[in-house]
Structure 1
Amino acid sequence: MSFLDYIVFGLYLLGTLGLGAFFYFRNKTSKDMFSAGGEAPWWVSGLSGFMTLFSAATFVVWGGLAYKHGIVALSINMCYGIAALAAGYFIAGRWKALGVDTPSEYISLRFGDAAVQFYIWVMLAFRIVGSAVSLYGLAVLLVPLMPLSDGHILQSEETGFLSVEWAIFLLGLIVVFYTMAGGLWAVLMTDVVQFIILSLSVVFVVVLLLIDVGGINSVIERAPPQFFDLVNDEFTWYFLVAWCLINFVTVGGEWAFAQRFISVRNVGEAKKSAYLISALYLVSPVIWLAPTLIYRIVNPDANPEQAYILASITVLPVGMVGMMAAALFSATASMVSSQLNVFAGALTYQFYQARIKPAASEAELIWVGRFASVIIGALLIGIALLIPNFGGAAKVVISKAILIVVPLMLPAVWGLFSSSISSRSVWVVAGTSVFVGVVLKGLFLEGGLLAEVEYLVNFSHWVQNSQRLVDILIGVVLPIFVMSILQIRSKGVDEGWRRVEAIEPKIETRPIASIYDSTPAWIVVIALGVSAAIMIVIALLTEENRRELMVFVGVLLAIGLIVLRSNFKMNDAKQKLTRL
């Protein structure tokens, strides 16, 4: 990166820290800290949910997959959109209608204290690994942009660039700070700003790459065989169906998403939030995976994990590389900050307040939440440093998602609708999946205790040669089967269902305009304005792609004016209602 690129990247990081500091003073209660006071606009919640599914690991894992195998990567990622659409229709509104302030509160009421402690610690470990993968993926993408002089304390002696270890530590520290300081409001609004930066950067790269290779027709003509197949031998139609089911449970039941549905004003807005996630994921993979698809034509011998950033620096002018680095950081920061906030809230309420100090004041709960954010952040930074020892990012992301998400979250989602299932479902589903997983993935693989037993050899060979199918059977089919059996055998109304029903729903009856907060819109306008100003400066300092830069400036300013006009209209409506 050039000096100008470092300035652009540095300005973005300072802006992110500034948002955390700004919302630090808006957190008056623990509810503000962990559920945005139930006042988040649906579009903020939706954009934040979209960014929570997104990360720099997306560029490493799915970008690498697109580079190697083509548009099968699009098929996989569009499954997120299908899953979010179904979750919006069936589940999102239910979370808001419950009347709880956090997902952990629902688990505690519905399944009891033992279940909520199980969920907190197991899901915390699971999501720390996921966030660590994202942080590792970010470092892998960014370090090729940052050469350092020999002897620099942050330099890798092997590559001459910023070391992956230092990148993980420093960038992780920034995410922990703004999450700890600003709470869920800071997470939501930095996600919105990050969505703007990410979209701007990726679209610009796609446009320049298409110009560079001669257009879409040239890409089609020069693509490898099977590059445009929707599925392949590894990622089959069965896998896509399973992936939709896994992510239906993820968007519907994962605490980070449930928290966004809870944080909006009413049931209708919770549904709209999920539908926005769906719309973005049905359309956007075509855009943000395009650079690696196109780059395969330009350079078929690149490292797949670094193909995305290599494609970017091939065409981006000075200054815009810094914005792309900011976009990559933003993708990871969103996922990591979401998990930090939701689990800090769970530890604050369900561990500290429930078990240590029930009479803790609001101020004390806020500080406990901040301390928990720091501790969780330190753990995930440490794990991120160890990711290369786990077999690489792609192996970690796909395997853990298939084997863990449904067995853990399915009972919680099922319990939103079934009055008869009890806390037993949590233990039976998780225990069965773990037991079968250990047997099949441990004892029958090569070198396992049962792998060479004579009358089991054929079965052992099938397990070894059908790993993806075995994962789906263990992580998706088995939990659904066990849960269905438990439902059939359950009778009566479970006590946990009665406890949830006893909550008085927090139904918002005031017109939206009467409680309209203009802060989110102003932050969007400022982010668009600053981005446009940066691009104008870049255009003035370099002649490269000046015309394209100014076109993007015009688009950004037009979007900013639309948002500003809408903001003024909502403020006028609020004033009229206030006078009434």
Structure 2
Amino acid sequence: MIDRYDLISIAFYVIFLLGVGITYARRSKSTSDYFRAGGIMPWWVTGASVWMAGFSAWSFTGAAGKMFQTGAYSILLFYSILVPLLILLAFTCYRFRRMQVITPFEAVRLRFGPGTQVFFTWARLPFILIFGGVTLNAVAVFMAAVLGAETPIVILVLGASVTILAMLGGSFGVVASDFVQMFLVVTVTVLVAVLALNQADIGGIRGMLEQAPSAHRDWGEFSRPQFIALWFVALMVTKLFEENSIDKSAKFLMARSDRDARLTLLIPMIGMIVAPLIWLIPPTVAAIRHDGDIGGIMENLKFPEEGAFVLTASEVLPTGMLGLLLCGIFAATMTSMDAGLNQGAGIFVRNFFLPVMHPNCPERQLLVVSKLATGVFGAIMVSCAFLWETMREMALFDLLTQVAISLGLPMSIPLFLGLFRRKTAPWAGWSTVVVGLCASYVVRFWLTPEMFAFLPGMEGPFLPEEVTTFRIFSSVFIVCGLCTMWFFATGWFYDEKDESYMKRLDDFFGRLKTPVVSPSGSGLKEERAISVSIGRLCLIYGLFVASLVWIPNPMTGRLCFLACGGVMILVGAIVCFSYRSRHRSE
């Protein structure tokens, strides 16, 4: 499936990542630079980073496996984020930027106090590392099957690459690599979709829709409409709290102004509308061609359907381009993982090491501790990936969804509501999480769909997909309901005589009312320098991709390399020219 030309692309990609880390290592002069890029990033940089962090290799493995089985059904998961993003645009993103903190959990300290900050530090940090391990496992399983390598070795190599980039480059390296990798992912996956549709036995979009398995057209084969509707609403509610909670503010803290914080959402909103429609095509084509024999073809995978995307890609891409696709898939995973490592290190250093262990730590020493913490957390994340590989028994699509709801949702609810509701007790944050975790445990292990068989449309027997979706939407509705009621009920204990608490609240909500404007002077100069360097990275990678026209391929295949490389070269040239010309005009 993979040849020596693909290995050249993969080798260059690894070297490129190391180069990005080294390039931006010197730009971090403080923890503000290391964890939030100094708060000077323009919207097109933060927007690319937000979108890339919104998906991972799971989109090409777990989600592709679900698309192989059920068609557009899994697109509902991607589209469930659209309404939450609109709310983020209208009410939340600029509040994130106005918090004027280095890490999100410093804002938690302002809003709820040091005790709640410590609680969330040690509750959120393991979740970041566990989820990072799950995503690393996803891409490693995928790539090991394609490369014919052992999964543990792939986990180790990929985990080390991510850790080195995050440790050396900090947030500057993270956002710069995100921007370049976004165009790699987009161009290659679009090519896979176009080439797949142009196959003679597929016959374009119309032919694909006509030939798709019946389950792709009739979702009733695996779930009743009411289960699907409740599942979609539950996903939307989950994303509402997650995307708008304080702990998801890291990317917006990098934005240079209120305006840039809002414009940041332009790229992820467009991406989340268009990209899933493109990602749907290769698994559907695989379902048409290999519905009954994919297990024999992707026999190295525990769940063979998770290889549907790469199977189609291997059949339609020109020689040497499958390696670029693998790099793009890894890039999608790396974005969420290195951002997670950066955020995890920030949580530990700024919210535990500095206030508890070494309150008077010099900034230079704090920066060294931050890099060391990133390295240690990278090792822990790799260990979690090994653990998931030995333990997981369900498909990645369902695994990630259940992990996010069971662990992430209870922590997100108070961190969202706390942005808008002032009159709560100081202990409202951590106590709401405890209530949510208890409710999640009870629902997961005690509640079954059979308990509601007396309701119209809930009669048994239940299909496997209905049992899975029931666990999800029942958890979401019960956890959200109980947590929200509890959070507001703590307002009965709101005490205006608590002077220290009132002072923190005044500071926090005062910041939310104070606009942030674009930087000037040295901040503007630094922003331009970084923007030009990102443009140069696009040029470098684009020139490499375009140079692969020498690989023996038909003319169509050679044009594919020119198209992918040309897009990246054009973007890099526009960025460099725009910022240089602006500098000369001023």
TM score, norm. by length of structure 1:
0.88
Q: Point out the more displaced range, 17-26 or 51-60.
A: 51-60
Structure 1 vs Structure 2: percent identity of aligned residues? 22
Structure 1 residue 464: Cα displacement = 7.3
Matched, 1:547 2:556: yes
What are the equivalent positions in structure 2 for 1:187-336 lying under 5 Å apart?
Answer: 187-212=174-199, 213-228=202-217, 233=223, 236-253=228-245, 255=247, 257-301=248-292, 302=294, 303-336=304-337
Matched, 1:383 2:384: yes
1:510/1:374 Cα in 2 relative to 1: closer, same or farther (>3 Å)? closer
Partner of 1:470: 474
Unaligned stretches of 5+ residues in structure 1: 147-160, 452-457
Partner of 1:151: none
Q: Point out the more displaced range, 559-568 or 353-362.
A: 559-568
What are the equivalent positions in structure 2 for 1:322-471 lying under 5 Å apart?
Answer: 322-388=323-389, 389-392=391-394, 393-443=396-446, 466-471=470-475
Once the two structures are superposed, residues 149-198 of structure 1 have per-residue CA deviations (whole angstroms, 9 ceiling, x without a partner) of xxxxxxxxxxxx31111111111011001101110111111111221111
Counterpart-to-counterpart distance in 1, 2:151 and 2:281: 26
Q: Point out the more displaced range, 474-483 or 258-267.
A: 474-483
Once the two structures are superposed, residues 315-351 of structure 1 have per-residue CA deviations (whole angstroms, 9 ceiling, x without a partner) of 2222101111111111111111001001101111111
Once the two structures are superposed, residues 389-425 of structure 1 have per-residue CA deviations (whole angstroms, 9 ceiling, x without a partner) of 1334333301122223231111112111222123322
Structure 1 residue 488: Cα displacement = 7.7
What are the equivalent positions in structure 2 for 1:123-162 lying under 5 Å apart?
Answer: 123-146=124-147, 161-162=148-149
Partner of 1:574: 583
1:162/1:264 Cα in 2 relative to 1: closer, same or farther (>3 Å)? same
Counterpart-to-counterpart distance in 2, 1:33 and 1:510: 18
Once the two structures are superposed, residues 505-541 of structure 1 have per-residue CA deviations (whole angstroms, 9 ceiling, x without a partner) of 683355699544143344345435533543442x332
Counterpart-to-counterpart distance in 1, 2:491 and 2:183: 44
Does structure 1 conserve the Cα–Cα contact (< 8 Å) formed by 2:544 and 2:565? no
Does structure 2 conserve the Cα–Cα contact (< 8 Å) formed by 1:420 and 1:492? no
Does structure 1 conserve the Cα–Cα contact (< 8 Å) formed by 2:443 and 2:471? no
1:371/1:506 Cα in 2 relative to 1: closer, same or farther (>3 Å)? farther
- CA RMSD, Structure 1 to Structure 2 (Å): 2.9
Structure 1 residue 116: Cα displacement = 1.1
Matched, 1:171 2:158: yes
Once the two structures are superposed, residues 407-462 of structure 1 have per-residue CA deviations (whole angstroms, 9 ceiling, x without a partner) of 1111112111222123322233212222223333334569xxxx9xxxxxx99999
Structure 1 residue 272: Cα displacement = 1.1
Structure 1 residue 102: Cα displacement = 1.6
Structure 1 residue 23: Cα displacement = 0.6
Counterpart-to-counterpart distance in 2, 1:559 and 1:172: 26
Counterpart-to-counterpart distance in 2, 1:407 and 1:172: 28
Unaligned stretches of 5+ residues in structure 2: 295-303, 452-457
Counterpart-to-counterpart distance in 2, 1:373 and 1:460: 49
Does structure 1 conserve the Cα–Cα contact (< 8 Å) formed by 2:542 and 2:566? no
Partner of 1:498: 506
Counterpart-to-counterpart distance in 2, 1:168 and 1:382: 9
Letter in 1 for 2:473: L
Partner of 1:121: 122
Secondary structure class of the residue paired with 2:414? helix
Does structure 1 conserve the Cα–Cα contact (< 8 Å) formed by 2:97 and 2:261? yes
Partner of 1:180: 167
Once the two structures are superposed, residues 109-128 of structure 1 have per-residue CA deviations (whole angstroms, 9 ceiling, x without a partner) of 11111211111111111121
Counterpart-to-counterpart distance in 2, 1:439 and 1:86: 30
Structure 1 residue 370: Cα displacement = 0.9
Does structure 1 conserve the Cα–Cα contact (< 8 Å) formed by 2:70 and 2:219? no
Number of residues of Structure 1 aligned to a counterpart in Structure 2:
550
Once the two structures are superposed, residues 72-108 of structure 1 have per-residue CA deviations (whole angstroms, 9 ceiling, x without a partner) of 1112212223322221221110011122222111001
Matched, 1:84 2:95: no
Structure 1 residue 63: Cα displacement = 1.1
Secondary structure class of the residue paired with 2:419? coil
